[in-house]
A and B are shown apart, each in its own frame.
Chain A
Amino acid sequence: MALLTAPRGPRVRRTAPEARLGRTIALAPAVVYFLVPLLCALAFTVGLGDPRQKPSLDAYTAIFTTDGLAQSLGLTLLLAGATIILVFGLLLPALLAVRLVAPRAKALVAVVCMLPLVVPAVALGAGITTVLRWATDWLYDTPGFPLLASLQQPAFPVILVLAYALMALPLAYTTLEAGLNAIEVKVLVEAARSCRASWFRTLFLVILPNLRDALLNTAFLTIAMVLGEYAVSALLGFQPFAVWTVAISGSHAQLSVAVSMVGLIGTWLILLAVAKLGRSKASKETS
């Protein structure tokens, strides 16, 4: 210890070397595990993995020409948009009401929002199929029948929006709750109301802007979920993006992997860009 008493030169970085080593040991295998399958998938799509094949980008150019892809992707994005609107429309009033006027409903809302976790997607799909089948029997030749049919239009199956919204509830609830916990909703509302803002303006000019990050996060994770959702759509016999990619995987293996990777990596990049945009905007606001 006596050796250490001599004055030492200034050191700027102070992360202990063993901590850095520990980080590397923890992260390196994870990086390999998470990157290799993606890289291999990309290699597969350009034909690098198979010596019998000549490397080409055909799978990617085919994305723009293959029948059905644009259709299924368009349907999926439409469903995703409708799902996001429905989720926000259901959750925001409930969460705000819990904070502002009905604190006793908090536990109930929490339980209801987490309940879908108990029902696996396949079971939900099975349940919905059963309900639709019985409803068809009961409602046949009644005015309710067209309504039932419109729920299941292949062009825009409302029933899927309902199911997706239910499945997105737990995630949306936790994300929005975290966002709301970070701001003092009650104080904001009282301040806005005392400045003569109507309820409408309070919501759109005060609360929602403060929740922007949570709302964006919820929206993009919901899009990711809808893009990847397979079980319920497949059981109900619709063909959105994920079901379509599986359906063509037999005949167009490279294409199906290629669109999956584009979807996965594309969603990630958009999410990252949104986060970056939000951050630079936030830092501009504070400076």
Chain B
Amino acid sequence: MTAFTLDPRPASAGTAGATLEFRGLRRAFGATMALDGLNLTLNPGEMLALLGPSGCGKTTALRMVAGFETPDSGEVLLDGVDVTGTPAHRRDVGMVFQSYSLFPHLSVTDNVAFGMRMLGTPAARRRARAQELLELVGLPTQGGRYPRQLSGGQQQRVALARALALEPRVLLLDEPLSALDAKVRQSLREEIRRLQLELGITTLFVTHDQEEALSIADRVAVMRDGRLEQCATPEELYNSPATPFVAGFVGTMNRLPGRLSSDGALVDVLGLSRPVQGSLHGRDGTADVDVLVRPEALTVSAAPDGPAQLVAASFLGATTRLTLRLHGGREAVADVPTTHASTLPTGARIRLGLPERPVLIDQARNEETTA
């Protein structure tokens, strides 16, 4: 094991990130497979978000890096070295927990300095380094207080400082923002990203919040039922989802009824013909398909003979989300500029349009919209 030495560099000088690799991780809890053969590599200095619904195995994967879970098979490699058998307290990783993981009986400074105390660092140096870290997370004057005297957001900042105190090679964030208010969540997530970039530390961020994952990470890995669905940059994930699950889970996606041309190159949707960008499913021979369209891609205009009807409008600020009932009972949502939406009364007949761009298609499903 690498012996810990307190690095004389200031924390902001940037640590060389490590490579973190999952190789064929499998883990069953009773009859359920929490991880079903996970392969994934985090590049040095990268922030990767593991995204998925609860129970998809993302937390299990993260805990395997920390050493709190052991895989049934497969391994976790840190800079190419298998650490699967290394006990948790000898791994060189820092972790921020979901909530309330601060030691309640220790002051903020002592919490941050805890790891250094375990390693026998002299008290004066511990304090100095803890102060440095508290400044880094924006809490320079809170060192003497106790965790319960801090707000949730402040507590998580302290937890972040504690996780970074030993200059770990990998930072693990286990839904660190999920217990916080919306506003605090947003500012803290920007702060985490800023720090991560500044330190250049390889970071694994587990979350079930797709907006959070897309906004913070270099790459996002979407998981379902213990398997990796897709791992890509946020833009790629949003614009070209590889599976129907990803399409539905990341952002909002409308499923509009369409008909495929005989050669499969064009699709008829909303009375318009568009080239097919790709299909999420193998052809099953039928011509009826679902066309996947993001709400902001739909254009709406009032038309007395329009095939859709405006059911509801919810104001989101600059844009308004319109809920439309299509011919045949399906619903679709469209995000349009509020100035435009305000001209459309509820119940109005609407004509929908699509920009001249290739579209994604999927097997027809008998659902309305997938949120």
Contacts and interface: CB of A to CB of B under 8 A. Distances in A.
* Any A–B CB pair closer than 8 Å: yes
Interface of A: 1-2, 4-5, 7-12, 14
A2 B83 CA distance: 10
Contacts of A2: 82
Contacts of B74: 7
B75 A8 contact: no
A11 B29 CA distance: 9
Nearest to A7: B73
B207 interface: no
B85 A1 contact: yes
A23 B86 CA distance: 24
A9 B72 CA distance: 6
Given A10-B28, A12-B30, A5 B75 contact: yes
Nearest to B69: A14
Given A4-B85, A7-B74, 13 more contacts: A1-B82, A1-B85, A2-B82, A5-B75, A5-B82, A5-B84, A7-B24, A8-B72, A8-B73, A10-B26, A10-B73, A11-B72, A14-B70
Contacts of A4: 82, 84-85
Contacts of A8: 72-73
A55 B28 CA distance: 56
State which size class the interface on B falls in. 10 to 19
A202 to B, nearest CB: 33
Contacts of B28: 10, 12
A14 B28 CA distance: 12
A14 B72 CA distance: 11
Nearest to B82: A5
A9 B86 CA distance: 19
Interface in B51-107: 70, 72-75, 82, 84-86
Nearest to A14: B70
B85 A10 contact: no
A8 B71 CA distance: 9
Contacts of B73: 7-10
A2 B81 CA distance: 10
Contacts of B24: 7
Contacts of A14: 70
A12 B28 CA distance: 8
Which 4 pairs of residues, A with B, have the shortest CB-CB distance?
A: A7-B73, A4-B85, A10-B72, A1-B85
Nearest to A10: B72
13 contacts: A1-B86, A2-B82, A5-B75, A5-B84, A7-B24, A7-B74, A8-B73, A9-B72, A9-B73, A10-B26, A10-B28, A10-B73, A12-B30
Interface in B15-51: 24, 26, 28, 30
Nearest to B71: A8
Contacts of B30: 12
A2 B26 CA distance: 18
B197 to A, nearest CB: 33
Contacts of A7: 24, 73-74
A10 B35 CA distance: 12
Contacts of A10: 26, 28, 72-73
